[in-house]
Chains A and B, each alone.
Chain A
């Protein structure tokens, strides 16, 4: 009964490959996010979706493409992986307009070799 789940937890791949990370939340929230956390723990927002609509798209390379098939899912697809993409990626969700606190998934550690 995990609130926000992500798969896979670890992802090791080579440069140039394409990979996807899946996220699901069972909290009934309207808003979902993707964050990237670097090795110094700095957390940077990448995307935010509200009711399946993209509302925040920070300066992220267009190799990163989010997809929200429904309110409970927000997947992240990454094309042509680069060494600098190595990081921990967190999915999160929140009610959106009524409550701003966020619930985070356990993270996906991506290592590009």
Chain B
């Protein structure tokens, strides 16, 4: 079945450091891929998405590229801020769209 694997956290960085959170997936067909972010005490919110191979999703300085050859969708940001501290979830939706598979989440701490 479909699955998502993302790097375990927590990840602790200093402000302005470069961020990478790895995500790989297993799926049949051509799923859509997502990164969601969950700030403390809140629900998840969509950060970015990509719907086909080689698409790059971007938002708020974050980027991720849909790599079909490596089945990956790694999240990157060039310079993190304290306000980026949150839990990040990689996810995929199958072509039917009704079921989204979430990774285990990666907690990011950014120190001033």
Check if A56 is an interface residue, CB within 8 A of chain B: yes
How many A-B contacts at CB < 8 Å in the complex? 57
- How far is the CB of B47 from the nearest CB of chain A, in Å? 10
Report B-chain residues with C-beta under 8 Å of the C-beta of A99. Answer: 97
Report B-chain residues with C-beta under 8 Å of the C-beta of A43. Answer: 44, 89, 102, 105
Binds B, one of A14-22, A67-75, A102-110: A102-110
- How far is the CB of B90 from the nearest CB of chain A, in Å? 11
Residue from the list A41, A103, A106 in contact with B107, Cβ < 8 A: A41
| Dominant secondary structure of chain B at its interface with chain A | strand
- Counting contact residues on chain A (CB < 8 A from B), the size range is 20 to 34
A104 to B44, Cβ gap below 8 A?
yes
Question: A76-106: which have CB < 8 Å to B?
Answer: 90, 92, 94, 96-106
B98 to A104, Cβ gap below 8 A?
no
Q: How far is the CA of A41 from the CA of B108 in the complex (A)?
A: 13
- How far is the CB of B77 from the nearest CB of chain A, in Å? 20
Check if A25 is an interface residue, CB within 8 A of chain B: no
Check if B99 is an interface residue, CB within 8 A of chain A: yes
B42 to A106, Cβ gap below 8 A?
yes
A101 to B34, Cβ gap below 8 A?
yes
Question: B75-112: which have CB < 8 Å to A?
Answer: 87, 89, 93, 96-100, 102, 104-105, 107
Report A-chain residues with C-beta under 8 Å of the C-beta of B100. Answer: 45, 100, 102
Closest to A41 in B: B105
Check if B32 is an interface residue, CB within 8 A of chain A: yes
B98 to A107, Cβ gap below 8 A?
no
B43 to A90, Cβ gap below 8 A?
yes
Report B-chain residues with C-beta under 8 Å of the C-beta of A105. Answer: 43
B34 to A41, Cβ gap below 8 A?
no
A102 to B46, Cβ gap below 8 A?
yes
Can you list 25 A-B contacts (CB < 8 A)?
A: A31-B97, A40-B104, A41-B87, A41-B105, A43-B44, A43-B89, A43-B102, A43-B105, A48-B99, A50-B98, A56-B98, A56-B99, A92-B43, A92-B44, A94-B97, A96-B97, A96-B98, A100-B100, A101-B46, A102-B44, A103-B46, A104-B36, A105-B43, A106-B42, A107-B42
